[in-house]
Structure 1
Amino acid sequence: MTGTGYLIPVSESRSVRNTVRYAVEQATDRAAETGESVTLRFVYPLSKRLSFDEGTGEAEHARSLLDRVEAWADEDLGADTESAVEVYTSLVGTREYLFSPSDYADVLAEYARTHGIDVVVFDPDFDPLGTTALLPPIENELRRGDFEVEKAAVARARRGTLLVRRGTVAQFLGLATISTLFYLLLAGSLAPFELATGTISGLVVATALWGISLTTPIQPAQMAGRVGRLLLYIPYLVWEVVVANLKIAYVVLHPDLPIDPEVVEFDAAVWSALPVTTLANSITLTPGTVTVDVTRRHFTVHALTKDSKAGLLGGSLERAVRFVFYGRSAARIPSPIERRDTETQSDGETEETEEAVDR
């Protein structure tokens, strides 16, 4: 290892403790060799976090792990080397929807460049999603960005297959319920025979796929709240579709055909796959707007009229989708046009400050 600062991404794993020890040993040796202070920056990439709600279970778990990492590093350093090696911990990516290896690599690279780090040390079992082996492609992305990348030389515990995981009773019941409801939806009937066969089919599916599908922990209260808010969202969406239909009918029947087609781009304040998909489909279902492309949470939408563009940037559908998935507090986030105005104002203030400094 070379350099005086090291970035160590961490996640919950069997070898994270040994990775911390390895990083401390390397930093201690480097400090003794160069006589310079060495920094160790342990980071936890926290995907799909909401800027307005950082008190979630996943965020608390991430902070707990970083607290443990810091305590382990202090324990390994001891009193004699604390002044030569500085330890920092941080959450990264909290405002981004991280999905692909390049997303994680971009967040890590930005943090490393900000702190003048060109060496990244990975836990061999680093797995930010907990389900997919992202480490090799993340390493390759960082190497292409001129970073020195290495794995901690630690013994790896034998891991079971990632395909099958131990599920909970709540996950079993949740999968059985979803399968039964889907069966009844396809059957289009609530007759006793359909209810019986649907229940049996749901239990069979849940038994067969219990350890494969729906392995994310279920929070019944949170799920019930989302379902309730979804039931409120459906009539709201139907109303928006009806109103938009009437507006488009007026445009079509107007002698002057007052259309003003335009492609609109904006970043939506939604942070995970299902909310993004729901918003994109809701926009397309509403006459006058069609979702052309979505990259993470960046939307490209074709708006047929000024009215549809104003409604899109006004953020009514976006607020409704946030309400469904994140609750009432999320509905108060500024609309796309308000966020755009704020960013423009901030950019203007930055330019004025830079001009003042130049003078």
Structure 2
Amino acid sequence: MSDDASAHVLVPVGESPTLRNTVAYAVQTARDRAAETGETATVHFVYPAVWRVVEQTRAEKFERAQELLDRVELWAEEDVGDGDGADSQPAATVNIETAVVGDEEYLFSPADFARVIVAYANEHGIDRVVVDPEYQPGGNAPMLRPLEFELAKSELSVEEAPVERPARRSALVGRESLAQYLVVFGASYLFYLTLGGFSGTFDLVTGAISAGVVSLVLGQIALKGRPAFRELPGKVGRFLLYAPYLLWEIAKANVTLAYVILHPRLPIDPEMVQFKAAVWDDLPATTLANSITLTPGTLTVEVSQREFYIHSLTGGARDDLLDGALERAVRFVFYGRAAARIPSPRERDANRAAADRRQITDTDTDPAVTRREGDR
């Protein structure tokens, strides 16, 4: 690692109790390194986005991210100023840069967050990352594999800021996660009573116990961050419209599949289909994957980020899948009417292919040849 490169630091940021001390540590180490080498150091604070392209609260979350970055920049400038005249050491020049990364992508796993962070570091010639020990890029939901593990797979030098962590509280449910527990409890309780009935005290009591266990175990895993209660009634209403639509699609697929099975020639054409779905967040992706599986003739084999791998039994099932009716309906449930108008997977592939052809045509056109032809 060269002295010049090591003076530049990247720090992923998000709301955490140790963020302020992490900022101070990153600025201090960059300033010390710049003083040793006589070079200008730069500390890059990047905020990996946790929202989606069509999310209704995207603008609000982006504004909150910018506010956090502005706050971090003020802290960093204070730390740079505090050290300018320290002892007899010459003043070191430290620049502060902030940016939001990954706002046009679907960031789900630690590998996704690491990928956009590494891409930013490579773009700006950074080879050192300082990680806040309390930083959770997914929000309140803890990641099973830490971000540092994924970053360590790259060529970057990864260091956890040696700052004091706050004492862990033993409270079972904190103020931040209470809304998550209540939503999971309510949904589990309603689902239990719907299956078991609302008839007696036994159902009410056992349902409450079961929902309580589910919410305690899955309260912070089932949801990321605080649920948006203002959007909940609209989503529930749209889901009530979606349920009969899904049942109708299942019924139609059953009839089609029965015809194929009873046909003397058994006209099946099994094939794997891969497409990138225009859905974001865990719950919409899960809803779409389960809806595809519930529809006879198609089976969701794997979902990786937004990539869906579907086994289709007939050509008609593939056509229906790529026409995007189910995908459009799921977007309507979770994102509203505007998101339902996004092109289908088939249309997106056609648009992408047309764009590629235009790019190839533009590349093959030689401006010098065009000028010579015009001179004749």
* Shorter-normalised TM range: 0.7 to 0.9
Shift of the 147–72 alpha-carbon distance from structure 1 to 2, 3 Å rule, reads same
| 1:123-202 mapped onto 2 (5 Å cutoff) | 123-131=132-140, 134=143, 137-161=146-170, 164-166=173-175, 174-187=183-196, 189-191=197-199, 194=200, 196-201=201-206
Of residues 284, 297, 301, the one that matches 2:306 is 297
Aligned residue identity for 2:280:
W
Match of 2:78 in 1: 75
The aligned residue for residue 105 of structure 1 is 114
1:8-27 equivalence runs, <5 A: 8-27=11-30
Tell me: CA distance 1:83–1:356, structure 2 relative to 1, closer, same or farther (3 Å).
Answer: farther
SS where residue 165 of structure 1 aligns?
coil
CA distance in 2, matches of 1:169, 1:309: 43
Q: Give the gaps of 5 or more residues in structure 2.
A: 85-90, 369-376
Bigger shift: residues 5-14 or 164-173:
164-173
Q: Bigger CA drift: 268-277 or 341-350? A: 341-350
Rounded Cα–Cα distance in structure 1 between residues aligned with 2:304 and 2:51? 14
Larger mean CA deviation between 338-347 and 72-81 belongs to 72-81
Q: Is 1:349 equivalent to 2:358 in the alignment?
A: yes
TM-score, with structure 2 as normaliser: 0.81
Q: Does 1:118 align with 2:127?
A: yes
Taking the aligned partners of 1:172 and 1:131, their CA distance within structure 2 comes to: 12
Q: Mean Cα displacement is larger for which, 7-16 or 148-157?
A: 148-157
1:127-165 deviation per Cα after TM superposition (whole angstroms, max 9, x unaligned): 223446559742233222111111223333323359643
Distance 1:121 1:357, change over 3 A: farther
Of the structure 1 ranges 263-272 and 82-91, higher mean CA displacement relative to structure 2 is found in 82-91
2:279 to 263, 270, 279: 270
Q: Percent identity?
A: 48
- Asked if the contact 1:96/1:271 (under 8 Å) is kept, the reply is no
- Do the aligned residues in 2 keep the contact of 1:165 with 1:212 (CA within 8 Å)? no
Alignment: residue pair count? 355
The structural deviation recorded for 1:320 is 0.6
Segments of structure 1 that go 5 or more residues without pairing to the other structure are none
Give the whole-Å Cα distance in 2 for the aligned partners of 1:52 and 1:190.
36
Give, in angstroms, the shift of residue 32 of structure 1.
3.4
Q: TM-score, normalised by structure 1?
A: 0.84
1:217 alignment partner AA: R
Determine the C-alpha separation between the residues in 2 that align with 1:172 and 1:9.
28
Q: Distance in 2 between matches of 1:311 and 1:91?
A: 37
Give the conservation status (yes or no) of the 8 Å contact 1:49–1:271: yes
In the alignment, the residues of structure 1 paired with residue 145 and residue 126 of structure 2 have an alpha-carbon distance, to the nearest angstrom, of 20
For residue 21 of structure 1, give the secondary structure of its aligned residue in structure 2: helix
Structure 1 residues 242-261: aligned runs within 5 Å: 242-261=251-270
AA paired with 2:230?
A
Q: For the residues of structure 1 that align with 2:95 and 2:156, how far apart are their CA atoms?
A: 21
Structure 1 residue identity aligned to 2:346: I
- Residue 214 of structure 1 corresponds to 219
Return closer, same or farther for 1:102/1:173 CA change in 2, 3 Å cut-off.
closer
- In the alignment, the residues of structure 1 paired with residue 132 and residue 98 of structure 2 have an alpha-carbon distance, to the nearest angstrom, of 15
Change (3 A) 1:288 1:204: closer
The 1-side partners of 2:361 and 2:124 are apart by: 26
Q: For 1:180, give the aligned amino acid.
A: Y
